């Protein structure tokens, strides 16, 4: 079956569902979407339109129809690729996924956007687990290229790589499932030390963020962490680095912090963000973030991304 | 004393010293440089020229003289701002810094590029420690905006902020000294988990790097880690995030790995880099990195960097 003739189903029409709907429509796929919550349904069309306006700046100018349907059954009947974006609660998601599967045809592929749950837990109640996969986007999903994929079946995994590539994403596959997949494990590890630096009084929130954005963050938008140490090893590359500087890295690892999010630490973080935001609202910061991301995405030349 | 009339001294003319020399000359400051090693002296002019060519792409078109002088005494006599870039060995650096200080006038400011040593250790043998500071650049130093500063004296710290800003850098000050300053602590924390993901068989080296570059790395080139969680908290910002998702972050922290750089893990990393490099030499990868960095630096609009 050619994926380009798919109608894409969206279950859960919050920010993530709206992003997926915009991506699919801008890539030329018709979308049928459903959410049980009136609030999500109400804001969905405007969110999809706003995301599509940003995508058109990036050359994704498709205008396939996006339709809000009346029930899960309608999505399951019409769509052969269904993206689930329900809240991150295991019982809710397993019940919902079983309901989608029961209403869908046998060949339908169901993908979950889960950021924190495991494939094996989510698939535990399904009759056709091979047709179920994780496809986790990174916020904001219509701008960030990364989609992390875990599928138990190699054929379904390959179809997922093809499908998300057609949505303009960069799919990265996990060899085995892991809490937080890859990117949120990395983000969590970095943030732990970012919190520690504030808690220990080494630097303020705004200065930690400024150091990251003007230092490692900028570099990691171009080359990955492993590649950075390869280039840090000089002519001998990573083998030289590991041999000569591996022990000093292990000593540095031992010196990293293990902070707790105590009320005092939370207050430091909250106060620090107020300084960094400098009066800018969440909406204004999001607009600045998106504009800066779009400018970078137009460059499309990271070294580690090919 | 107006810093713009300074002659800048460079002690240690390897890659970092050459980067500093290029930055200073391209910002209009004459440079007097010295290195005891013939090899470093031989390659210094070409390295400075190559870095200045890249800086001119970024609008730094100054052409002040860069002179290799015959000895440390000449640098100390002529220069009122001296940047030390010797190898990262405490005894070598403390002896060298004392020698520079003894030969320099009382008002001379001496800055060390050290990435891993502490101010209090390096300053321990100096007669005028208030005039000594850490100013750590991030590799490649002439392209990466970040300079991490630690000074014991507020007046010297403020002059350092002014001086490195004139070199087109973004200075970030530590409130107290710390092993690895800010950026390398963050980089080290992230890399530990990046190594763990490979060691645990969750994903390969190239896929970890691809996830980083297309996900959190891209985002951290625009907003810092703290700000990312502020925006991840929705309308309630970081206070909402900490209240509702703080406990799940702490659980995620507990699930992060503490790998060792065993021979087996080092082999996995080295093999993985060979796949990611796909035949590209270190020099070629550096060229691709620099071109991608220059393109991003031309945008100059990160949200957390103001």
CA distance A284 to chain B (A): 10
> What's the pLDDT at B50?
97
Average pLDDT over residues A198-217: 98
CB proximity under 8 Å: B 54-113 to A: none
Q: Which residue of A has its CA nearest to B171?
A: A211
Put simply, the answer to whether A186 touches B193 (Cβ < 8 Å) is: yes
Q: Given CA atoms B79, B81, B84, B90 in this order, what sign does their dihedral have?
A: positive
Contacts of B4 (CB under 8 A, 6+ apart): B28, B29, B166
Quick one: A137 and A236 in the same domain? no
Q: Which two tokens stand for residue B147?
A: 């300079």
Quick one: B80 and B196 in the same domain? no
Residue at a domain's end among B110, B145, B173: B173
CA distance B35 to chain A (A): 19
> Does A171 contact chain B (CB < 8 Å)?
no
**SS3 assignment for B276-302:** HHCCCCHHHHHHHHHHHHHHHHCCCCC
> What's the pLDDT at B302?
60
- Specify if A78 maps to a domain: yes
Quick one: A48 and A103 in the same domain? yes
Residues of chain B with pLDDT under 70: 1-4, 300-306
CB proximity under 8 Å: B 220-249 to A: 220-232, 234-235, 237-239, 242-243, 246-249
Euclidean distance between CA atoms A94 and A102, whole angstroms? 12
Q: How many CB atoms lie within 10 A of CB B266?
A: 18
Compute the mean pLDDT over every residue in chain A, rounded to the nearest whole number: 95
Quick one: A70 and A143 in the same domain? yes
- Specify if A178 maps to a domain: no
Contacts of B178 in chain A (CB under 8 A): 197, 200, 202
Q: How far is CA A5 from CA A8, A30, A147, in A?
A: 9, 9, 22
CB proximity under 8 Å: B 273-302 to A: 273, 276-278, 282, 285-286, 288-289, 291-293, 295-297, 299, 301-302
> Does A145 contact chain B (CB < 8 Å)?
yes
Q: Which residue of A has its CA nearest to B239?
A: A270
**B154-163 residue pLDDT tens:** 999 999 999 9
Domain range spanning residue A48? 3-173
Q: How far is CA A14 from CA A39, B17, B90, B101, B178, in A?
A: 9, 52, 55, 62, 42
Contacts of B198 in chain A (CB under 8 A): 226
Contacts of B238 in chain A (CB under 8 A): 269-270, 273
Put simply, the answer to whether B192 touches A229 (Cβ < 8 Å) is: no
> What's the pLDDT at B209?
98
Q: How far is CA A240 from CA A114, A230, A234, B89, in A?
A: 39, 8, 8, 18
Euclidean distance between CA atoms A145 and A168, whole angstroms? 7
Quick one: B238 and B281 in the same domain? yes
> What's the pLDDT at A10?
98
Q: Given CA atoms B26, B31, B37, B42 in this order, what sign does their dihedral have?
A: positive
Q: Which two tokens stand for residue A281?
A: 């609202």
Contacts of A154 (CB under 8 A, 6+ apart): none
Put simply, the answer to whether A292 touches B269 (Cβ < 8 Å) is: no
Cα–Cα nearest to B116, from B98, B143, B134: B134
* Interface probe, candidates A140, A194, A217, chain B, greatest B C-beta count within 10 A: A217
Quick one: B47 and B124 in the same domain? yes
Contacts of A194 (CB under 8 A, 6+ apart): A208, A212, B186, B224, B225, B226
> Does B199 contact chain A (CB < 8 Å)?
no
**B80-106 residue pLDDT tens:** 999 999 999 999 999 999 999 999 999
Residue at a domain's end among A149, A173, A197: A173
Average pLDDT over residues A225-239: 94
CB nearest B226 (choices: A219, A269, A304): A269
Quick one: B213 and B247 in the same domain? yes
Q: What percent of chain A has pLDDT over 90?
A: 93
The packing angle between helices B225-232 and A205-214, to 10°, is: 110
- Specify if B283 maps to a domain: yes
The answer to whether residues A200 and B179 touch, using CB atoms and an 8 Å cutoff, is no
- Specify if B178 maps to a domain: no
Cα–Cα nearest to B196, from A219, A303, A245, A189: A189
3-state secondary structure of A93: helix
* Interface probe, candidates B219, B266, B291, chain A, greatest A C-beta count within 10 A: B219
The answer to whether residues B80 and B131 touch, using CB atoms and an 8 Å cutoff, is no
- In sequence order, what DSSP letters do the residues of A178-219 get, joined into one string? -TTTTHHHHHHHHHHHHHHHHHTTSS-HHHHHHHHHHTHHHH
* Interface probe, candidates A218, A231, A246, A306, chain B, greatest B C-beta count within 10 A: A218
Put simply, the answer to whether B249 touches A261 (Cβ < 8 Å) is: yes
CA distance B228 to chain A (A): 9
- Given a cut of 60, whether residue A44 has pLDDT beyond it is yes
Q: Which residue of A has its CA nearest to B234?
A: A282
- In sequence order, what DSSP letters do the residues of B15-37 get, joined into one string? HHHHHHHHHHHHTT--EEEE-S-
Euclidean distance between CA atoms B250 and A184, whole angstroms? 13
Q: Which two tokens stand for residue B180?
A: 């690895």
Quick one: B145 and B222 in the same domain? no
Average pLDDT over residues A183-201: 98
**A137-159 residue pLDDT tens:** 998 999 999 999 999 999 999 99
pTM, rounded to two decimals: 0.96
Confidence of residue A305 (pLDDT cuts 50, 70, 90): low
Contacts of A180 in chain B (CB under 8 A): 252, 255
Confidence of residue A3 (pLDDT cuts 50, 70, 90): low
Here the CATH number for the domain that contains residue A220 is 1.10.1040.10
- Given a cut of 90, whether residue A4 has pLDDT beyond it is no
> Does A180 contact chain B (CB < 8 Å)?
yes
- Specify if A39 maps to a domain: yes
Q: Which residue of A has its CA nearest to B265?
A: A242
The answer to whether residues A178 and B200 touch, using CB atoms and an 8 Å cutoff, is yes
The answer to whether residues A136 and A160 touch, using CB atoms and an 8 Å cutoff, is no
- Tally of domains in chain A: 2
Confidence of residue A2 (pLDDT cuts 50, 70, 90): very low
Q: Which residue of B has its CA nearest to A145?
A: B214
Quick one: B160 and B116 in the same domain? yes
Quick one: B188 and B210 in the same domain? yes
Confidence of residue A234 (pLDDT cuts 50, 70, 90): confident
Site of tokens 């060298």: B96
CB nearest A219 (choices: B144, B196, B285): B144
Q: Which two tokens stand for residue A164?
A: 């998300």
Quick one: B147 and B235 in the same domain? no
The answer to whether residues B209 and A302 touch, using CB atoms and an 8 Å cutoff, is no
- In sequence order, what DSSP letters do the residues of B215-235 get, joined into one string? THHHHHTTS-HHHHHHHHTGG
Residue at a domain's end among B112, B146, B173: B173
Put simply, the answer to whether A172 touches B214 (Cβ < 8 Å) is: yes
Using a 10 angstrom Cβ sphere, with 0-12 exposed, 13-18 middle and 19 or more buried, the burial of residue A14 is: middle
Euclidean distance between CA atoms A10 and A180, whole angstroms? 22
> Does A168 contact chain B (CB < 8 Å)?
no
Q: Which two tokens stand for residue A82?
A: 């269904």
- Specify if B55 maps to a domain: yes
Put simply, the answer to whether A208 touches B139 (Cβ < 8 Å) is: no
The ipTM (two decimal places) reads 0.96
- In sequence order, what DSSP letters do the residues of B44-59 get, joined into one string? HHHHHHHHHHHHHHTT
End-to-end CA distance of chain A: 27
Q: What percent of chain A has pLDDT over 70?
A: 96
Quick one: A259 and A142 in the same domain? no
Here the CATH number for the domain that contains residue B17 is 3.40.50.720
- Specify if A105 maps to a domain: yes
> What's the pLDDT at A161?
98
């Amino acid at each position: 079956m050619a994926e380009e003739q798919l109608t894409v189903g969206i279950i859960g029409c919050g920010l993530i569902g709206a992003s997926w709907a915009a991506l699919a429509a801008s890539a030329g796929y018709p979308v049928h979407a459903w959410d049980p919550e009136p609030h999500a349904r109400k804001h969905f069309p405007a969110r999809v339109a706003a995301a599509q306006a940003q995508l058109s700046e990036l050359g994704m100018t498709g205008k396939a129809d996006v339709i809000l349907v009346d029930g899960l059954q309608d999505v399951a009947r019409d769509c052969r690729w269904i993206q689930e974006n329900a809240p991150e609660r295991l019982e809710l998601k397993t019940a919902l996924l079983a309901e989608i599967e029961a209403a869908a045809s046998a060949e339908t592929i169901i993908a979950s956007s889960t950021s924190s749950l495991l494939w094996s837990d989510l698939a535990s109640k399904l009759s056709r687990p091979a047709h179920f996969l994780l496809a986790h986007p990174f916020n904001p999903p219509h701008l960030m290229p990364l989609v992390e994929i875990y599928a138990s079946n190699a054929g379904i995994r390959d179809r997922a790589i093809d499908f998300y590539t057609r949505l303009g994403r960069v799919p990265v596959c996990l060899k085995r499932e892991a809490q937080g997949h890859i990117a949120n494990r990395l983000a969590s590890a970095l943030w732990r030390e970012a919190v520690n630096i504030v808690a220990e009084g080494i630097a303020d929130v705004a200065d930690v963020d400024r150091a990251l954005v003007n230092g490692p963050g900028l570099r990691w938008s171009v080359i990955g962490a492993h590649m950075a140490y390869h280039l840090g090893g000089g002519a001998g590359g990573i083998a030289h680095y590991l041999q000569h500087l591996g022990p000093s890295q292990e000593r540095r690892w031992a010196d990293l912090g293990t902070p707790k999010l105590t009320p005092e630490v939370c207050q430091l973080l909250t106060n620090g963000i107020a300084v960094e935001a400098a009066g800018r609202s969440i909406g204004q910061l999001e607009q600045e973030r998106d504009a800066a991301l779009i400018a970078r995405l137009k460059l499309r030349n990271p070294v580690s991304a090919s």
